[in-house]
Amino acid sequence: MRKSGKNILIVDDENLITSLYQEFLNHYGFHSTVCEDGAIALSTFEEAKGAFDLVITDQTMPKMTGTELSSALLERAPSLPIILLTGVRKELFSESMNNIGIKHILQKPVSLLTLKEVIDTCLAS
């Protein structure tokens, strides 16, 4: 299996979910960093100085929502691919997410294979 070598920032306040995503992505050769809230993720992103190729973030988190985090990240790196995960019907978010610059919204629960396909699409463009 070819290893990706890409760096992904995973942001979710549910440790079980982040562990699952991290293990799955590591299997495909991605390097991943986990943050439990948006404020920590933003700080981690700034300290890494552009080292992340993609961000996966949950919408509902303490301190900062996924959309707030995405907006702040895209101010710093306008071409950064962001995948927003939400428990709410994604159709309710689609228009406002496109205005922020988020191109991919997935409704929870998301299959790992679907997540991998979307990651591959993001990184290919």
CATH number, position 43: 3.40.50.2300
For the chain, what is the domain count?
1
Q: Is residue 1 part of a domain?
A: no
Question: Distance between CA 104 and CA 18 in Å, rounded?
Answer: 18
Residue found under tokens 């228009």? 95
> What's at 72, amino acid-wise?
A
* Per-residue pLDDT of the chain in tens (125 residues, 90 and over written 9): 456 689 999 999 999 999 999 999 999 999 999 999 999 999 999 999 989 999 999 999 988 999 999 999 999 999 999 999 988 765 555 656 667 888 798 988 999 999 999 999 999 97
Tokens matching residue 21: 């995503």
Burial classification of residue 85, based on how many CB atoms lie within 10 Å of its CB (0-12 exposed, 13-18 middle, 19 or more buried): buried
Q: Is residue 120 part of a domain?
A: yes
Tell me which residue of 44, 41, 83 sits closest to 63, measured CA to CA: 41
